[in-house]
Structure 1
């Protein structure tokens, strides 16, 4: 199949997985709506404040609706039916940058967590688990972000 014909078969929002001709958004929208209503009902049932539960439920439904429709779409869409999507994104330049940054960040996390654990064990300093996990998360995100930017700059 030529590239032009292949692009004509692709749509802006894609189709369902499994070779279906049904647009993915046709199913993702009601699924996301049902999930958002469920979140709204749960929030309204758990709400303990002067605000009426109906208002809380509607508010939570409205706020979570776009994200839950998008999440449903991500799980339902067949990437090969999306217009402009790469056939093998893992083989792109950005994919290579991502892989290098992730590998380096993992090594950084092991090194820093190991050194910090040894330091804390030797000194006897005690810290809250939440603070330690926040530290690990910040190191991971910082290391990955810096390494990705460096890889992107190098090309």
Structure 2
């Protein structure tokens, strides 16, 4: 999503006011046409399109679930074996954007990104219910949760 005039109030026409790419400025120095135009409004930065933080990104929310200790490695063995089931469940979460499941030296962690906090809250319930139903015999402790607003989400 490109930056909009509301995101970059200094953007006017096909260039930025006060910038050497502004057609009015170019006309004052005798240049009547100019082919090079910024492909992505940059709002005074040199960020590429994939690095720009949009309004959508600022509203997104993420939750990290970290499992460690007794039963954590066994849980991640089960999660790996059932990853198709996990994917199907999480894709049903309203506002779901992305999910990562990662092994660590003492267990593993998952990261869920949704369009808002309501989505990550729902994902926590879905994950908890799945573990209770499918891994209660493993004896894994509840995960440590960390959550917050997304600053940057690259796709």
Question: TM tier, shorter chain?
Answer: under 0.3
TM-score, normalised on structure 1?
Answer: 0.23
More strand by share: 2
More helix by share: 1
